[in-house]
Chain A
Amino acid sequence: MKTKVLDADGLRRTVNRLSHELVEKNKGVQDVVLVGIRTRGEYLAHRVAKKMEEIENMKVQVGVLDITLYRDDLHGRLEQPQLKSSEILFDIRGKVVVLIDDVFFTGRTIRSALNALMDLGRPAMIQLLVLVDRGHRELPIKADFVGKNVPTSHGQEVKVEMTEEDEEDAVYLIENDEKEK
């Protein structure tokens, strides 16, 4: 079963709100850079950057982070994830880095991303922006900006679709009985 929890308009408004919140909290976009986690975090980062540029009329730099090498489940998987490159073509030292991902779940992806970022330099601050928080954290990590809280059970799956990769802009909650623990 598939339930739409956010449609295209909802997603657009959420991105707009998050962009405003980011600008407000950081008092502008000076020294703020966005880093999206592959794949949908990257698209999200570009959309947020575009909106922030509209609001403040200043360029916002966007980078992409591939966390494959930092995963804690790299060994013992049946399928190896395809390694892609990180593309962060600016210096993150001294910057406010806003880490961006689509779904916030156990927190393990974010832990990997934090380690990966630290290996690139010492940012002044790292903030976390997520489109959907579905709960079930396994690590003590908290998001600074949340698009939508979606309470879920372990058996459910949250799927974010974005037109850069998918047919539409939407967030779905999917019942997945086989995954029930």
Chain B
Amino acid sequence: MKLQSRHLLGLEGVRKEDITLILDTAVSFKEVLERPIKKVPPLQGKTIVNLFFESSTRTRISFELAERRLSADVVNFSSVGSSVSKGETLKDTARNIEAMKIDMVVIRHASSGAPHFLTRVVKSTVVNAGDGAHEHPTQALLDMMTLREKYGKLEGLRVCIVGDILHSRVARSNIYGLKTMGVEVSVCGPATMIPRNIEALGVRVYHRLEDVIPQVDALNVLRIQLERQKSGLFPSLREYHRFFGVTKEKVDRALKPITIMHPGPINRDVELSADLADGPHSVILEQVTNGEAVRMAVLYLLGTSN
């Protein structure tokens, strides 16, 4: 059993058996997280650099904990206060760090394609921790792990991604991954936030939450970036909440309970009501735990394959 690629840049084109291998391996790592000593030795002697060119709390901490729990040596880099603010290019930054003998790079960058570019300039294994509006593969993997854990399988499930699909790397990675695994995927959001021709990816588009709620098992609610309001994509937070905010009142119209997911951080009572976020059908904190297990699985599979 081995992954096809030596990098994880996105879920587009990743084979079903590779996703299954990652999810199965993650289940084993979840057991490690329940132990009194949450540390195992497979990446002993490997050095991993976390290159974060964009602010992030949970993804960075999650990756760092995953790396440490696999016994890797970890170096953190954030662009604030670094050579990048002195005008160094991504290529030079990466090459200089690689010259210090590292094995893997985890990169978060505001530009789509930055991790792909990195694979061409460095020899290390590259893991995408989110690039622009392109992909965020480990987030989608942890979403899939959470759904699989809850329902026992992914095939045949119906999932709707709600919110700003246009700017969301979480949405893209989820669409690619879920479609590969045989999930029926739909999206719902204001017309200004749905990419044109998204149906080509095999997803259904809804513009009313009320229409999609009776059709799905789970809602993956995306964070609404407050700054998008300024660019005129939606008139006001209040109006967004009224039409696209996921509330108890709206999901209660479904015949059976709907699983509520959110990649965090939540704008409470904007895209998701607080009672649902903390309610019995919310798996949001489970997603966070699974995120660590999934990242351990990805780093382990890539880090021990060569």
Contact = CB atoms under 8 A, between A and B. Distances in A.
A75 B2 CA distance: 12
A85 B34 CA distance: 11
A120 interface: yes
A119 B304 contact: no
Contacts of A76: 306
Contact of A86 (B25, B27, B31, B306): B31
B1 A79 contact: yes
A69 interface: yes
B24 A121 contact: no
Contacts of A66: 28
Given A79-B2, A82-B24, A84-B28, A119 B305 contact: no
Given A68-B42, A121-B36, 10 more contacts: A69-B40, A69-B42, A74-B304, A79-B2, A80-B2, A80-B304, A83-B24, A83-B29, A86-B31, A115-B41
Interface in B138-187: none
Interface in A67-117: 68-70, 74-76, 78-87, 115
A80 B36 contact: no
Q: Which interface residue of B24, B42, B301 has the most chain A CB atoms within 10 A?
A: B42
Contact of B1 (A80, A85, A87, A121): A80
30 contacts: A66-B28, A69-B32, A69-B40, A69-B41, A70-B41, A70-B42, A74-B304, A75-B304, A75-B306, A78-B2, A79-B1, A79-B2, A80-B301, A80-B304, A80-B305, A81-B1, A82-B1, A82-B21, A82-B25, A83-B24, A83-B25, A83-B29, A83-B297, A83-B300, A85-B27, A85-B28, A85-B31, A86-B31, A115-B41, A120-B37
Main secondary structure of the interface of A (DSSP, over half): loop
Interface residues of B, number: 23
Nearest to B46: A75
Contacts of B32: 69
A95 B239 CA distance: 63
A86 B31 CA distance: 7
Nearest to B37: A119
B35 interface: yes
Interface string B35-63: 11101111000000000000000000000
Contact of A119 (B24, B39, B42, B297): B39
A69 B42 CA distance: 5
Interface in A111-131: 115, 119-121
> Which are the 8 A-B pairs with shortest beta-carbon distances?
A85-B31, A69-B40, A85-B28, A83-B28, A69-B42, A119-B37, A83-B25, A74-B304
Contacts of B300: 69, 83
A74 to B, nearest CB: 5
A78 B28 CA distance: 21
A84 B297 CA distance: 12
A84 B28 CA distance: 5
Contacts of B24: 82-83
A120 B300 CA distance: 20
